[in-house]
Structure 1
Amino acid sequence: MEITYKEIGKIRSNFKEAEGTPIQPTAKDSAKGRIELLAEYKQGLKDLAGFSHLILLYHCHKAGKAALTVKPFMEDKPHGIFSIRAPSRPNSIGLSVVQLEKIEDNIIYIKDVDILDKTPLLDIKPYVPEFDRRENVKIGWLEKNVAKLSSMKDDGRFTDK
């Protein structure tokens, strides 16, 4: 089955290339950005300003060719694509939790951004801890590597070069 989505806006950030971009929103101290929502979706922003965080779903438009096993940033051995968050996947959909700063007209100002400039936005959902947080979480192979997060940056390995 073929599934088609249309962008609802663009995510804007200071990250023009993958290299040097934080690999997760929490890896960089409050990198700022904005969402330029298409005017036809502005009415959908009603009541969103009451939330502190948003879940963004987007198309990784600069992702390289999909692979089922890849070497992630925080380890030197390959893992299955579904056990990592790399953009080079069968459906190159990205997910980030960002902090909402303010909304002006159809522009949403955000921080904790790890997204490339001009990334097509597919959807916005409010982050609700009671819905989204889980207890007794296991993080697999990342358990021994997650401490590296604050020092890791994208090296461009998952982009279409």
Structure 2
Amino acid sequence: MTEIVFTPIGTVHSPFSDPRDMPIQPVGARGVRGTIELDPACAAGLQDLAGFSRIIVLYHFHRSNGYSLEVVPFLDKTPRGVFATRAPRRPNAIGISMLRLIAVDGATLTVEDVDILDGTPVLDIKPYVPAFDAYPDERAGWLTTTSGAARTMRSDDRFC
């Protein structure tokens, strides 16, 4: 395969400095506030973003080393294929979170529902559009019976 190189466009600032005991999904981080500081050269790309209530943030799991194609995810005790999970130790350590957008101020975004480690490099930001991005009636595989636990589940050291 051909190597792909990304340059971060910004950095997440959150109250989470240790990957242990932090929320595993934005639903478990309701009301947790943070910021995303973009490279000032990218600030023009934020034009019109303030009209959206949520954004999709793609980021690099910068503290994740190596990967396994089979993992025991936080919400289960059964080994699962990594691509059927949202585990951070992946062949390409890319994360995704849907965050509430509170404010845009220059090159800084204030966001809520932050489940991202402080200092995480941001790769891209996209607007969340319910008409395009919400499919509530679709199947959720093995997560159908456990996804509700994401509101209270906290990470541990299994992916550190």
Q: TM-score, normalised by structure 1?
A: 0.96
The residue correspondences of 1:63-142 to structure 2 (distance < 5 A) are: 63-142=64-143
Cα RMSD of the aligned pairs, angstroms, is 0.9
Residue identity opposite 1:43 in structure 2:
A
Q: Within 2, Cα distance between the matches of 1:38 and 1:7?
A: 8
Percent identical: 43
Q: Within 2, Cα distance between the matches of 1:127 and 1:120?
A: 20
Q: Number of aligned residue pairs: give it.
A: 159
More off after superposition, 124-133 vs 145-154: 145-154
Q: 3-state DSSP class of the match of 2:41?
A: helix
Shift of 1:28: 2.3
Shift of 1:135: 4.8
Cα deviation code 1:85-131 (max 9, x no counterpart): 01100000000000000011111000000000000000000000001
Q: 3-state DSSP class of the match of 2:86?
A: coil
Shift of 1:84: 0.2
Cα deviation code 1:16-65 (max 9, x no counterpart): 01011100001123111000100100110111111100000000001132
The unaligned stretches of length 5 or more in structure 1 are: none
Q: TM-score, normalised by structure 2?
A: 0.96
Kindly indicate whether residue 54 of structure 2 is the aligned counterpart of residue 53 of structure 1: yes
Kindly indicate whether residue 39 of structure 2 is the aligned counterpart of residue 14 of structure 1: no
Shift of 1:77: 1.2
